Amino acid sequence: MHEDVLDVLAQRAKCWTARIVDMADEPKGLAEGFEESSGDPRVVLAMNAVLSLLFGWTVVWGLDRLEVLTASRGTIAAATLVVFFLTYLLVLR
């Protein structure tokens, strides 16, 4: 009984090891991943917008705490737009 369980575990370990080796043989970049993806690009843009908003709000909040600038909807929107377009240009294009 125990030998059967050990055999199954050994076979699964070999399978997982083979998958990891196959994945390591051909590293792909982010752009290649986007090109091969069949997903909806609007999801990526929506995630970029949400994460840019969070990062922009964090930066503005930190600068407000340091009394470098005043936090307002306008400054948060400007920081969000800057981060969004920089991310879009540098990563997605």
Asked if residue 1 has pLDDT above 80, the reply is no
Say what the pTM is: 0.58
pLDDT computed for residue 41 by the predictor: 80
Question: CA–CA separation, 81 vs 70, rounded Å?
Answer: 17
Find the length of the chain.
93
Question: Residue 88 has which token pair?
Answer: 């879009």
pLDDT computed for residue 40 by the predictor: 78
Burial (CB < 10 A; 0-12, 13-18, 19+), residue 29, is exposed
